[in-house]
Structure 1
Amino acid sequence: MGKPFRTIDQQIDLLEKRNLKFKDKEKAREILLKNNYYNLINNYSKFMINSFNTYEDNTYFENILMVQNLDRELKKILFEYLTEIESIFKAMLIYEYCNKYQEEYAFLNVRNYDKKNLSSAFSVISTYTNIINFYSNDKKANAIKHYINNHNDVPLWVLSNFLTLGQSIYFYNTLTPTLKYTIVRNHINKNLSSKDKIIRLDVAVFSSILENIRQIRNVVAHNNRLINFKCKNNIKYINELHNQDKRESRQTVYSTILTFKCFFNIIEYTNLKDRLVLLIEKFYNSMDNKNHATKVLNSLGFPSELYLK
């Protein structure tokens, strides 16, 4: 038998029976009317519950809202930077591919892909063909239709605007090892290196980084819960990127944010870090129970030195 429907007052009564306190019960009623109970309570209060499935002492409904707000504000910041990463990645990918393969519709030629990964290459070609066919027959004006009608060609830099980040990453993974290394060497390693130290990031590591970024991008874009999210790839430790305890998981949101250094210069990355520090400091200081705040921030991978001064 499924769980019964509960009115707002019944929801509040249930939460009080589980030892949750309210600073403003009338405001809480308004919030519960505008928020799905399951999404709010189950998603954001798990760090405040003891082994008896009741709330630990000194836990308020307003604290749950603070966790929800942290999740929301963090996604806003990351969306801005993830959008820029997508643009940067597509630009470097297109530049190196088009520089190597300059014939028309080069991306539809299976010989321009990794011979050991032909099934993926055919998948890419099929996807791109379908995209071109769809937009060329679209009644509305678009860039693909314009280039076919006026130039009898659709350059990759035009097609890329119709590709998702996931499709672009899949495309990258089907390229020849030589071309993948060229992209990493000319763009990622060049960006990470300095006068004092030359960085040579492994192609396989970069593919893992891209996949974790894609996963975070999907969570953010679909407005799913980011707190406690773990990426699939525990990326190989790279000192210049991670700068953290090697024993720690590199599947967290924070460890993925650290890999943003692949795409941004020092000033841009420092700006991101400063914004994140302000956000998590404000969250930590506003929480009534600091242990709860620490659990939330740990689930994201944020080290305590970022918010404990």
Structure 2
Amino acid sequence: MEVLIPSSQKFLQNFFHTLFAHRFAEVYGNQPYAYLNISSYDSAKTLSVISTIAKLSNIIDQHRKYNPQSSICHYVKRYRNVPIWVLINFLDFGTLRNMLSSVPTNLQTMVARDMMSFVQEHLPNTTKFPAETMNTFIKNIHEVRNVCAHNNRLVEFSCRGDSHYWAPLHDKYSIHSTDKRRDVFSVFISLQCFLSISEYGTVHNKIRKLIKRLDNKLNTLASDDVLQLLGFPKNWQDTPLIQHDAEHI
């Protein structure tokens, strides 16, 4: 579990880097250092935007001063501008997430719309993926990833906030608007909005396989008890395998 979810997040991160850079550049064109301009962000989020801009500026400054071979330094010296598609490769997922949640709603909506190819693979009757819902899903994915990355305990872990209730996904698992949606299972099912069936199926099937193996090693606790401490439904390990063409994660 602590390997599979970060692996999924890594794929999501790589895809999002490319997608966000493309959409940001599409909106702001060739405006130099548009990501350092506070007017490029939601005016209602000034404090968080200032922090994000400061971090982006620091990344550029550090490479300009101390890493002369980097593409950032090259673009600063030669073009007096670092395009978003260059800078994006130097951003961690947390910084990218902060940027996404801080840009204007129309830009967030463009990114959410791009996720629909994944969403419709899993939820074929869905016609819209709200940007606000997307942001809460990504926030909790990032929190679980951080727990795994620092080798902290995932069992009984809860994110700081519930992800938005989104009927197309949550109704599929009998999760109601009044239920908590901040455990590992909630994060796990939200990956369907960012991974293909093949990619998500690989994660699903590997977790199922690991849990079944765990049954042979536990003496005082059943594997089903472990799953329920992660928020998974009772007997989840007996759910059918997800059939897919190839494994990517």
Class of the TM-score when normalised by the shorter of the 2 chains:
0.7 to 0.9
Structure 1 residue 231: Cα displacement:
1.0
Q: Look up the SS of the partner of 1:153 in the other structure.
A: coil
Could you say which residue in structure 1 is the equivalent of 2:7? Answer: 80
% identical aligned pairs: 26
Structure 1 residue 303: Cα displacement:
2.1
- Residue type of the alignment partner of 2:223: A
Q: Give the CA RMSD over aligned residues.
A: 2.1
> Aligned partners of 2:219, 2:151: CA distance in 1, in Å?
26
> Aligned partners of 1:123, 1:193: CA distance in 2, in Å?
35
Could you say which residue in structure 2 is the equivalent of 1:43? Answer: none
Q: Look up the SS of the partner of 1:212 in the other structure.
A: helix
Could you say which residue in structure 2 is the equivalent of 1:249? Answer: 180
* 1:137-179 C-alpha deviation (Å, 9 max, x unpaired): 0055222112222332211122122222111111111111111
Give the structure-1-normalised TM-score.
0.70
> Aligned partners of 1:192, 1:307: CA distance in 2, in Å?
23
> Aligned partners of 1:250, 1:75: CA distance in 2, in Å?
19
Q: How many equivalent pairs are there? A: 234
> Aligned partners of 1:202, 1:196: CA distance in 2, in Å?
16
Structure 1 residue 109: Cα displacement:
1.8
Q: Look up the SS of the partner of 1:249 in the other structure.
A: coil
Could you say which residue in structure 2 is the equivalent of 1:223? Answer: 151
> Aligned partners of 1:114, 1:307: CA distance in 2, in Å?
43
- Residue type of the alignment partner of 1:280: I
- In 2, are the aligned partners of 1:228 and 1:296 still within 8 Å (CA)? no
Q: Once structures 1 and 2 are overlaid, which stretch shifts more, 127-136 or 227-236?
A: 227-236
Residues 1:93 and 2:20 are matched in the alignment: yes
Could you say which residue in structure 2 is the equivalent of 1:303? Answer: 233
Match of 1:270 among 197, 201, 204: 201
- In 2, are the aligned partners of 1:124 and 1:171 still within 8 Å (CA)? yes
* 1:194-232 C-alpha deviation (Å, 9 max, x unpaired): 595233122221111111011011111112111221112
Structure 1 residue 308: Cα displacement:
4.1
State how 1:32-181 maps to structure 2 within 5 Å.
74-102=1-29, 103-139=31-67, 141-181=69-109
> Aligned partners of 2:213, 2:90: CA distance in 1, in Å?
39
Could you say which residue in structure 1 is the equivalent of 2:116? Answer: 189
For structure 2, the 5+ residue unaligned runs are 240-249
